[in-house]
């Protein structure tokens, strides 16, 4: 059994093994980790200082339209999963069902059967005995089998064409979104007929795609299908609501804003949609992650920029060390990681910081704080990588990169506008003196091709006692379960504020249990407190997008952004995801919707509270016309009331829960 001090010291010593002054750096790393100001990702914590130091979190692959490479990729997935990695596969290259295979002149069975095999392979592997294997599959929206792809997670239909354990994601070009908005037609192709389309983006994609559409109309491309873009989009949204998949991610912003546009294409994001790195047959992209605990950098009622600078100076060095120490399960991962040296410095405890600053999550002040805090983090992250370049040398493919061309993340918003031909409504105001960083990068270059990415941080958030990444609080009261048992967790910030008002007592705790932590339902709590402690489903999803967009302009990769929506309004979901695209977001993660029922709380006084209450949905959601409602399966609509003797209704993920989606 490893005690906490030994745990942190093992990680610190493992990450300092190649330093010239090993002991000094190990102590520096230990002091940062043990103070919980910065935590490395869970694979780094698992494996640092061991004989197989596989310290990376996620891997991204592109699968070629070749049977040998397809089955090689299954083997790669297994090796990557074995050593704790989450895997994301780009399957868009695979020819569609019915297209001819030239070598033996038979019709292809398409991509779906191969996805089924990938799904079952993930089930066969657990990640270092700590998490179940996890695979995400991406498909571009013009693929001939996109409609079947959308159905993969459904609970009905042919089981041979279902992948219940695989995460799926839509890789959506801007042209499709424009056609959705304008209610225009969209053409589906087999990749074998449009060989270059997968590697194009922006205006070049749009021009070539229209050429292929004309060729199809002229009979030069036999295998194609014309559909309504809006109807296809509606199916995407309804499947997202029904199954949680496929996620909505955007191809063009990921590529147009990529620092590495000179050496390859971003073909997908990763398992948690925060990584945007190039992939190819010869390169499997690798995510090397860690996160700053923003709540622990609020000192005396304000964000301490000097403390952030100090934390980042050490943390970026630790992340860069991962690349050289790392055990690489495949040649392609080593090739990619050593050549480009990408890292993903992220944040957690954003909600903690807002609580400490007394800022409501759904306020303009929260948007401003997101903007200014991420600018500080971006400023020092880029500067620190450049300082490491001065000390250790630039990464191999630096020449020709956006960094080399003097183009920083904030500058790429204009590039995206130019490619789209549309204005992106985001402030470009700078509060720091960026000329110092630009001059340093110009003179010394960058150590890392990519520097920032915001991961879900479910596991390390639990370890550090912080709310996950950039999420609003999910519930003010919930049950945490681990090997030691179940524990009722109440929002300690809420308790402190209620104590100051002499409102914290047994009766208040019982009311919190009864209302599942929703303070808006409890009489006697002041409006100021109710507004401060709104839960995720009480916050307008457009506000979450505004906060993410303000932050996203400073990031060279992306962020794991969950969308929380009450009710079953198709129009609301449509508007939310269209808004995310128009604000320039690169990716979104899970769509979270609220259950129709609550669990009975048999520990409460039935005479006082009654039994098994249903949520008063009408109070909390907009009225939805019948035609606006999402058409979902009877399985989703069915109400199931679970009668078990527990405290509150909601269970969140925990360190020892291998099935937790965020932990993947």
Residues catalogued as catalytic: 270, 272, 274
The rounded distance, in Å, linking the Cα atoms of 485 and 404 is 53
* Residue 254: closest CA among 323, 205, 288: 205
Can you name the residues that pair with 38 across neighbouring β-strands? 292
Beta-sheet strands, E only, within 45-158: 58-62, 86-90, 100-101, 106-107, 126-127, 131-132, 135-140
The rounded distance, in Å, linking the Cα atoms of 336 and 331 is 9
Residue 83 contacts residue 329 (beta carbons within 8 Å): yes
Q: What are phi and psi of 164, to 5 degrees?
A: -70, -15
Q: How many other β-carbons are positioned within 10 Å of the β-carbon of residue 160?
A: 8
Distances (CA, A) of 428 to 105, 313, 410, 658: 55, 26, 7, 41
- Look up residue 177 and give its two tokens: 């979104």
Non-local CB neighbours of 408 within 8 Å, separated by 6+ positions = 382, 402, 434, 437, 438
Q: What are phi and psi of 412, to 5 degrees?
A: -80, -10
- Does residue 246 have a cis peptide bond before it, meaning omega lies within 30 degrees of 0? yes
The rounded distance, in Å, linking the Cα atoms of 73 and 82 is 14
β-strands 485-490, 477-482: how paired?
Answer: antiparallel
The rounded distance, in Å, linking the Cα atoms of 334 and 144 is 34
Residue 140 contacts residue 194 (beta carbons within 8 Å): no
Residue 193 contacts residue 223 (beta carbons within 8 Å): yes
Non-local CB neighbours of 501 within 8 Å, separated by 6+ positions = 526, 529
């Amino acid at each position: 059994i490893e005690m906490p001090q030994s745990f942190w010291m093992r990680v610190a010593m493992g990450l300092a093994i190649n330093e010239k002054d090993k002991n000094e750096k190990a102590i520096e790393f230990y002091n940062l980790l043990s103070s919980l100001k910065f935590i490395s990702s869970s694979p780094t914590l698992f494996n640092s200082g061991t004989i197989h130091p596989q310290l990376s979190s996620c891997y991204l692959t592109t699968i070629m339209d070749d049977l040998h490479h397809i089955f090689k990729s299954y083997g790669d997935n297994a090796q990557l999963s074995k050593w704790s990695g989450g895997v994301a596969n780009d399957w868009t290259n695979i020819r569609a069902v019915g297209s001819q295979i030239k070598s033996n002149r038979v019709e292809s069975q398409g991509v779906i059967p191969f996805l089924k095999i990938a799904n079952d392979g993930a089930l066969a592997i657990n990640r270092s005995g700590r998490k179940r294997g996890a695979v995400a599959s991406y498909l571009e929206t013009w693929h001939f089998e996109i409609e079947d792809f959308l159905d993969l997670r459904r609970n009905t239909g042919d089981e041979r064409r279902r992948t219940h354990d695989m995460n799926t994601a839509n890789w959506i070009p801007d042209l499709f979104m424009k056609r959705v908005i304008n209610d225009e037609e969209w053409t589906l192709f087999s990749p074998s007929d449009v060989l270059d389309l997968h590697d194009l983006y922006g205006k070049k994609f749009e021009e070539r795609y229209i050429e292929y559409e004309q060729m199809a109309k002229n009979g030069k491309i036999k295998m194609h299908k014309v559909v309504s873009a809006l109807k296809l989009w509606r199916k995407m949204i309804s499947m997202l609501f029904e199954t949680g998949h496929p996620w909505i991610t955007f191809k063009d912003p990921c590529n147009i804003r990529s620092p590495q546009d000179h050496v390859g294409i971003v073909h997908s994001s990763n398992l948690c949609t925060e990584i945007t790195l190039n992939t190819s047959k010869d390169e499997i992209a690798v995510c090397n992650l860690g996160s700053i605990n923003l709540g622990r950098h609020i000192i005396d009622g304000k964000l301490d920029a000097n403390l952030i600078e100090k934390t980042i100076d050490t943390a970026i060095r630790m992340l860069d060390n991962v690349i050289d120490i790392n055990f690489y399960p495949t040649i392609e991962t080593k090739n990619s990681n050593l050549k480009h040296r990408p890292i993903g410095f992220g944040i957690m405890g954003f909600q903690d910081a807002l609580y400490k600053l007394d800022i409501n999550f759904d306020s303009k002040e929260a948007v401003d704080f997101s903007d200014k805090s991420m600018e500080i983090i971006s400023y020092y992250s880029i500067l620190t990588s450049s300082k490491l370049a001065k000390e250790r040398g630039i990464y191999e493919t630096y020449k020709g990169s956006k960094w080399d061309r003097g183009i920083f993340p904030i500058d790429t918003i204009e590039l995206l506008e130019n490619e789209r031909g549309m204005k992106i409504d985001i402030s470009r105001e700078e509060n720091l003196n960026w000329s110092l960083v630009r001059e340093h990068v110009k003179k010394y270059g960058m150590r890392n091709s990519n520097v920032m990415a915001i991961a879900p941080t479910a596991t390390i958030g639990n370890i550090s006692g912080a709310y996950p990444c950039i999420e609003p609080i999910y519930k003010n009261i919930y049950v945490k379960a681990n090997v030691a048992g179940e524990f009722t967790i109440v929002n300690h910030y809420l308790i402190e504020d209620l104590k100051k008002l002499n409102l914290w007592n047994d009766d208040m705790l019982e009311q919190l249990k009864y209302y599942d932590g929703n303070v808006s339902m409890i009489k006697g709590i002041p409006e100021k407190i109710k507004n401060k402690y709104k839960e995720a489903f009480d916050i307008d999803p457009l506000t979450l997008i505004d906060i993410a967009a303000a932050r996203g302009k400073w990031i060279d990769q992306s962020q794991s952004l969950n969308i929380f929506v009450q009710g079953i309004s198709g129009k609301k979901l449509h508007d939310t995801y269209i808004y995310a695209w128009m604000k320039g977001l690169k990716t979104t993660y899970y769509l979270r919707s609220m259950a129709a029922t609550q669990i009975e709380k048999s520990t409460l006084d039935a005479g006082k509270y009654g039994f098994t209450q249903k949520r008063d949905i009408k109070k909390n959601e907009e009225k939805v016309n019948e035609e606006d409602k999402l058409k979902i399966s009877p399985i989703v609509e069915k109400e199931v009331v679970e009668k078990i003797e527990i405290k509150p209704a909601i269970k969140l993920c925990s360190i020892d829960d291998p099935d937790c989606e965020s932990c993947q």
